[in-house]
């Protein structure tokens, strides 16, 4: 299958971001892609530390969801894009939308919140339930993850156990010392240790690194979109997952199971 990666700097205006994704979905279709991965916060720009999104976000039935759903119907491309959805009076949810066949076919609320590197996403965002989500595109099982989730390998073990051959990771990876090295190293590690394809779509712009990238089950890099607005289509041979797991059966050879973390007060 062919997978498109859309990398752009999101604006504070939902309609502008929707239009960008709609245009990229058309391009993806013209280049033969059936799946397109967009950044985290593709609906509306990631807020700064002193900015609230309460009252400015939309449910999947809002204009952003409708726009990308209609684009999926017109183009035949399944679109994975980051959004924010209503939470409570003080917080929102960091939600991936999966647009397919003219509707929002699935959503995933980010499990691991970015309480690190002097930031505290949990001040503004409600974490999702510890239930990783997968979708099917053309009979291929695809796992969903968002940004900071990448630093937690156990989640990707669960996605592998759920049958994922590809994992998509929309992100707005914040700039800083060692951050690009962490991003690319962890993408490669998740691909190698689970023997599946990993596709990360990063937001570009002033605060985020861009650097959207894809790795195959052996850890070979298939794409790097650099730091500016960019677009790419990559060819994925899903048969390579089975071939890699036959040659290097690390998933079969493991001795530990992944169990949910106990909650503490």
- From the list 40, 58, 121, 203, the catalytic residue is 40
Query: Active-site residue 30, yes or no?
Result: no
| Cα 109 to Cα 128: distance, rounded to the nearest angstrom | 5
Q: Are strands 213-215 and 197-202 parallel, antiparallel or unpaired?
A: antiparallel
Q: Does residue 243 carry a catalytic annotation?
A: no
> Is residue 3 a contact partner of residue 33, using CB atoms and an 8 Å limit?
yes
Q: Which of 38, 110, 121, 203 is catalytic?
A: 110
Catalytic pick among 38, 58, 91, 147: 147
For the question of residue 257 being annotated catalytic, the response is no
For residues 136 and 156, what is the distance between their CA atoms, to the nearest angstrom? 17
Kindly report the length of the chain. 265
CA 62 to chain centre: 20
Kindly report each contact of residues 180-187 with a partner whose C-beta sits within 8 Å and lies 24 or more positions away, as own/partner.
Answer: 180/209, 180/211, 182/151, 183/150, 183/209, 183/211, 183/213, 184/211, 184/213, 184/221, 184/224, 186/150, 186/151, 187/150, 187/213, 187/215
Cα separation of 102 and 31, whole Å? 20
Contact indicator for 207, 245 with CB cutoff of 8 Å: no
Residues designated as active site = 40, 110, 147
């Amino acid at each position: 299958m062919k997978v498109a990666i859309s990398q752009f700097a999101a604006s504070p205006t939902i309609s502008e971001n929707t239009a960008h994704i709609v245009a990229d979905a058309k391009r993806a279709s013209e280049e033969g892609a059936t799946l397109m991965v967009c950044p985290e916060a593709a609906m509306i720009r990631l807020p700064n530390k002193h900015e609230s999104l309460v009252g400015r976000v939309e449910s999947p039935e809002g204009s952003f969801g409708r726009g990308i759903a209609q684009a999926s119907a017109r183009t035949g491309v399944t679109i994975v894009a980051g959004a924010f959805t209503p939470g409570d009076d003080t917080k929102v949810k960091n939600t991936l939308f999966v647009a397919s066949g003219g509707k929002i076919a699935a959503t995933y609320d980010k499990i691991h919140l970015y309480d690190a590197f002097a930031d505290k996403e949990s001040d503004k965002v409600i974490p999702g339930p510890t239930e990783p989500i997968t979708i099917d595109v053309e009979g291929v099982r695809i796992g969903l993850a968002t940004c900071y989730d990448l630093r937690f390998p156990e989640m990707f073990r669960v996605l592998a156990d759920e049958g994922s051959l590809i994992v998509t990771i929309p992100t707005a990876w914040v700039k800083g010392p060692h951050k690009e090295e962490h991003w690319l190293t962890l993408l490669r590690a998740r691909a190698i240790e689970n023997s599946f394809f990993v596709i990360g779509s990063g937001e570009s712009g002033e605060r985020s690194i861009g650097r959207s990238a894809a790795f195959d089950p052996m850890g070979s890099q298939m794409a790097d979109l650099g730091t500016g607005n960019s677009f790419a289509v990559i060819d994925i041979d899903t048969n390579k997952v089975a071939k890699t797991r036959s040659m290097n059966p690390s998933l079969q050879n493991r001795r530990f199971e992944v169990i949910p973390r106990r909650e503490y007060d």
